[in-house]
Amino acid sequence: MFKKILIANRGEIACRVIATARRMGIQTVAVYSEADKEARHVQLADEAVLLGPAPSRESYLVADKIIAAAKATGAQAIHPGYGFLSENEAFSKRCEEEGIVFIGPKHYSIAAMGDKIASKKLANDANVNTIPGYNDPIDTGDQAVQIAKGIGYPVMIKASAGGGGKGLRVAFNDKEAKEGFESCRNEARNSFGDDRVFIEKFVEEPRHIEIQVLGDAHGHVIYLNERECSIQRRHQKVIEEAPSPFISDATRKAMGEQAVALAKAVKYQSAGTVEFVVGKDQSFYFLEMNTRLQVEHPVTECITGLDLVEWMIRIAAGEKLKLQQADVRRNGWAMECRINAEDPFRNFLPSTGRLVRLQTPHQTMFQSNTEQLMGVRVDTGVQEGGEIPMFYDSMIAKLIVHGKDRNEAIAKMREALNGFVIRGISSNIPFQAALLAHPKFVSGDFNTGFIAEHYGKGFFAEDVPHDDANFLVALAAYVRRKSRQRAATLSGQLKGYDVKLGESYVVIALDAKGQHQHHDVTLEDSGDIVGKACIRIEGKSYEIDSHSRLNDICIEGTVNGQAFTAQVERGTAKNPLVLVVQHNGRRLEALVVSPRMAELHRLMPFKAPPDMSRYVMSPMPGLLVQVNVQPGQTVQSGERVAVIEAMKMENVLFAARDGVVKQVMAKPGESLSVDQLIVEFE
């Protein structure tokens, strides 16, 4: 077994590998960029080596620097994590040549599966189901149309070197086939330097289901069941679960056996994933093989009780895989939500900056520990006070739950999301909460088009469902009452000016457009500063009992005998008197006041926000790459104004109307904050 390994990655996956290595008694070496010098993975590792500047092309993607770091620290092996160099054939081969073990598949396996056209031919030879299509590169748009007609619409036009949704188009007719071919080829050439394009049948109502495989250096390969990954946004997975609520045992067995056949065909050694597209009739076809550890591997660890990182290390060290196929368990139901630094209410634009608060839900499962299951686990590479840099992907954490069945897993995930506190940046937690509550998701009736179908026009606050929105009103009244009770106990209060409690309140739910809602509330409590209270709203009673402290963001307790977790904060940047309540993805900003104060509040004029239509503002934090206009220039509606880059994502800003540029207020190379002014029109 290795004595020391280097992790050629960052963030949560680097921390994940360190956890297993530590349990196995293996020392670890972290590598980091200048942007990550205070990062959690650097602090957890036994040693750390600086690679270079923040951009990944100058640090995490420089093989020479990583090899040099391994040699300098005496690391015998390199674990690449996922992303960066994890599926780089040349890097795997270079490690072998330098006498360093690559903790992953051999370079020839990576090469065989890295090219979509070659891998499909190889799958055909291994008797693996493949989607009907034309697997040779296509030269012209007219040829693409003829091939598409032969296969039958709809068809999928794909770049051979594509990935992550790039170089992919769906065509339903001749016109779309011709245009899709041209744009797909151009995108592939620009993104990958390889403009080869092929066409295959588009499976309707498709599900994205993948099979986890493990293979050792002695030719033994097994499959570890499947993962359901159909909940995707722009081809990026959002929620993953194991097992799938859709496929039968017979389909599972058939998919697993084909995945094993493909892995054996390429002499696969390590953990890998064979991805399939599955039709509504349970017909399944090979998509691609990911020759690395997947982001969503924890859900497989939960249902099988196996540590996949440990097995990657053991296989790389030459150990035999002791498990037989019959030994693989399928215990309970696991789900994973990817918690990303993005604002779902602003079209999921990246949100970078400092994590002012980070408080994870109570964990009962942990990385590298497959004994403690049926609980909650958080995999993260950040910590409170840390920075979410603009140079890398947007993941803050992965939230994993394990339950006896699917309904229990959903309930655990919803409650865990309620207890996940993130402040300083925006996160996609409200969106995750809405997905988990959607009837079609709960029933398991979904496919890869689910998010596009239900949230195609964007995601808005009113899209977040709630079983009983008045509970948030009751909780605001409860917290305000308990706060007043504490204030009433303070000594030295002047007679006639002391705090009066009262039993009648009005909760004013504030609205950004001034359409505030007033809720009349009556309240009786136990007299304790913390404890029970009965709140009545519109004829319904809420018996709330909580022993959380008044300054806790997360409040835990029961309402009418049912357990709950919610988040309550006092004050916003605009109004220090506001209470902000969050539960099941729903957010309420409220004033809790006396009936007389509520009457006066109704008389307050609404101050409309200023008209900012003559400005172009930054919709997200990021780097201003270019400004395409200058003072005095006449600009037409829809014309490009500026380009901002953050988290591997380029965002082009366009003029909303015709006008003349008055001034440019930011320079290329400048780091922008949300709503920072870039251009002003006359």
> Can you tell me the distance from the alpha carbon of 366 to that of 233, in angstroms, rounded to the nearest whole number?
28
Total length of the chain:
682
- The Cα 24–Cα 21 span in angstroms is 5
Burial of 159 (0-12, 13-18, 19+ CB in 10 A): buried
Residue type, 375: G
Q: Could you tell me which residues come within 8 angstroms of residue 81 by beta carbon, excluding any fewer than 6 positions away? A: 7, 8, 9, 10, 13, 14, 16, 17, 292, 293
Residues 315 and 216: their CA atoms lie apart, in Å, by 5
DSSP-assigned letters across all residues of 399-466 = EEEEESSHHHHHHHHHHHHHT-EEESS--SHHHHHHHHH-HHHHTT---TTHHHHHSTT---GGGS--
Told to judge if 288 belongs to the known catalytic residues of this protein, a careful annotator would answer yes
Query: To 5 degrees, how large is the angle CA 115–CA 83–CA 85?
Result: 75
CA torsion through residues 461, 467, 473, 478, sign: negative
> Is 306 in contact with 370 (CB distance < 8 Å)?
yes
Q: Choose, from 12, 228, 288, 296, the residue flagged as catalytic.
A: 288
Tokens 């150990």 belong to residue: 319
Q: Which residue has the tokens 């041209």?
A: 182
Q: Tell me the backbone φ, ψ of residue 358, rounded to 5 degrees.
A: -140, 110
Helix/strand/coil for 66:
helix
The torsion angle over the Cα atoms of residues 90, 92, 96 and 102, rounded to 10 degrees, is 170
Give the residue numbers annotated as catalytic, written as ranges. 288
